[in-house]
Structure 1
């Protein structure tokens, strides 16, 4: 079965073809980072319009690279939510329009389910069950994953997600958009211990997170240094920020593994590409004898491959999950715990 995946939840347009027999056939991605950079963040209307421009050319590129005709597509999966409403509507309309034209069933996929399952696309995929840290621009959650559609929420952020804290703190330091990669690069030149920043909820005795206070602490440091902050000071603040957020994420992951009794940890979402986080998790895994699985770097950010794969997994379990009526709706707010088991 060949499934076409369409991702358009925010500022990346992704198209992919996944074959349940041969694996990922081809995928293509267009990032809108350059377009949104001058605004310091994603402009929803511009994002939607750009998805319209990019979707069909990317589809043609993927079909050509996979050497697969449109008629070979068996089903179409698209991101139904969560995300920006206008951006989601573009992907849904493209998927359902193509389904109508080809007389193929379509399936709405939860964006976060795509991220949770994305490590299964790697060359060395984990087996179920495992603990997953879903850490991205808009979400920070710890989940127990027992299978496709079998997700148990263990903990989540009570305010800002880790990715939001990265972006907002980077903006306070005068760094460009997107802020996460920029502050991580700057942190490499910082000296540890120069600034002491809080580790929010590190000892909360639960698996929840809170990062708004950490962002406020960065703001306080920057304001105190506003008249004479130099590039080295900025690097030192960045180092303190990254160290704090990594300490919290690693500690919560270790606690989740201990409480569930599992020995496999999956990292999913854009922040999963962070080098400092990976190094700290690898060190903890070596010390405490568990294993960490990461998606390939190209699958950490939003992409069509994870949507095609998640759709294919659901259709393998329940072939009737897709439909042919081609009426569609999107769910900009869609908690993962509302996702029905297949």
Structure 2
């Protein structure tokens, strides 16, 4: 058809934590078509430790990366020559895993003579609702994952403004540590959610840190500690554990709902534009939290947009999309792309805010959020 841009076909690779993933995506005129999508988990490797062990994750990525890419390319029915570029998560994340995926992507790009795109894992989450939804810029984003929890104004590709962030633990981290405290196994978030379904959410009077403080910053470390103390007070029967999980989940939901309502009240997308509220990241798969945010969005006259459940957790489809959009916009270093980019354990979306007013200490690895 006249006026249509050339379709871009991108291989995406994701290895920032404990999923080894590869996907092939085709982007044309802003419309994304997912051609293949392969995710290999490491649940069995980490389950004995009730959490992700970085050294084990890195070794698993090294063993699985080539096989996962091969499976994604086979599912797509394409050769490397058919690609227009290769994208890989280059941070933030567990540095061993990030290095495996990034170097795999660079090697494929160099061998095939294609540009390499270094993708910020958080940008992948920020753009993930655009995989299967009509979600033009700008929009308000709540990014809730195992390692990050923040409100961002997404103004455009590569243009993000931090509005508020957790000052300590992320929501996903609080879920996982609560599960570990209660001996619920790994992964912890889904285990807590399953038990919470049959519990009394008012059984325990748990704190909602920073709930009444102005602004959008959050805190979940104190809540996690309160759960641990409640667990020590009496023997853990199944009913008591259900009630504790339900009370914990309700406390988290209340904080997110109140802060989201406040953020939506202040967010102005522009005259005549729809107010869009995006929730992304692994915690976006939690049904109770998503339902509460649906209510908040409706009350604010906004539309809640979330990725499909498969693309809430870490995946390569979102990395391929971010890479394709960057390649289409010319946001790469040169013809060979970002081959000179290094792996970054920390890589905030709003780097200016992270450097001028970090909510975490910067340390040797740089500002986190």
Q: Structure 2: how far apart are the matches of 1:294 and 1:69?
A: 32
Distance 1:224 1:237, change over 3 A: same
1:314·1:321 contact (CA, 8 Å) conserved in 2?
no
Structure 1 position 192, deviation (Å): 2.7
Aligned to 2:318: 306
Check if 1:52 corresponds to 2:62: yes
**For 1:24 and 1:213, how far apart are their aligned partners in 2?**
41
For structure 1, the 5+ residue unaligned runs are none
Q: More deviation in 16-25 or 301-310?
A: 16-25
Match of 2:177 in 1: 168
**Contact 2:39–2:315 under 8 Å retained in 1:** yes
2:344 equivalent in structure 1: 331
Q: Give the equivalent residue in structure 1 for 2:35.
A: 25
Alignment check: 8 A CA contact 1:5 1:78 kept? yes
> How far apart, in 1, do the equivalents of 2:78 and 2:21 lie?
17
**Compared with structure 1, are the counterparts of its residues 231 and 313 closer, same or farther at alpha carbon in structure 2 (3 Å cutoff)?**
same
* Structure with higher RCO (Cα < 8 A, 6+ apart): 1
Give how far 1:284 is off: 2.3
Asked whether the equivalents of residues 92 and 328 of structure 1 are also in contact (C-alpha less than 8 Å), the reply is no
Would you say the 8 A contact 2:117–2:332 is kept in 1?
no
Match of 1:198 in 2: 207
In 1, the alpha carbon distance for the partners of 2:238 and 2:26 equals 49
The alignment status of 1:280 with 2:305, answered yes or no, reads: no
Within 1, Cα distance between the matches of 2:89 and 2:136? 24
In structure 2, the gaps of 5 or more residues are 1-7, 270-274, 354-369
The separation in 1 between residues aligned to 2:167 and 2:203, in whole angstroms, is 28
Does the alignment pair 1:140 with 2:153? Answer: no
TM-score of the pair, normalised by structure 1: 0.95
- Note the C-alpha offset of 1:323: 5.1
What is the aligned-residue RMSD (CA, Å)? 1.6
Q: Deviation of residue 151 (structure 1)? A: 0.4
1:6-61 superposed Cα distances (whole Å, 9 cap, x missing partner):
11111111101111136221110111112100111111111111111111121121
Which residue of structure 1 lines up, in the alignment, with residue 218 of structure 2? 209
Distance 1:147 1:170 in 2: 37
**Structure 2 partner of 1:131:** 140
Match in the other structure for 1:254: 261
Q: 1:34: which partner in 2?
A: 44
Q: Write out per-residue CA displacement over residues 228-268 of structure 1, whole angstroms, 9 at most, x where no aligned residue.
A: 32100000010100000001011111111101235211001
Task: Indicate the SS of the match to 2:49.
Answer: coil
Q: Secondary structure at the match of 1:256?
A: helix
**In 2: Cα distance, 1:32 partner to 1:323 partner:** 35
Counterpart of 2:359 in structure 1 is none
* Mapping of residues 144-163 of structure 1, within 5 Å: 144-163=153-172
Change (3 A) 1:318 1:326: closer
TM-score by length of 2: 0.88
Deviation at 1:127, TM superposition (A): 1.8
Partner Cα distance (2:346, 2:299) in 1: 38
Q: Which residue in the other structure is 1:99 paired with? A: 109
Query: Which segment is superposed worse, 215-224 or 255-264?
Result: 255-264
CA distance 1:336–1:193, shift in 2 (3 Å): same
Is residue 86 of structure 1 aligned with residue 96 of structure 2? yes
**Aligned twin of 1:77:** 87
Q: Which of 167, 181, 188 is residue 190 of structure 2 equivalent to?
A: 181
Corresponding residue for 2:129? 119
Q: 1:13 aligns with which of 16, 20, 40?
A: 20
The count of corresponding residues between Structure 1 and Structure 2 is 337
Distance 1:259 1:59 in 2: 43
Match of 1:2 among 4, 9, 17: 9
**Partner Cα distance (2:180, 2:55) in 1:** 22
Q: Is the CA contact (8 Å cut-off) linking 1:29 and 1:58 kept in structure 2?
A: yes
SS in 2 for 1:25: strand
Which range is displaced more, 7-16 or 329-338? 329-338
Cα distance in structure 1, aligned partners of 2:256 and 2:109: 41
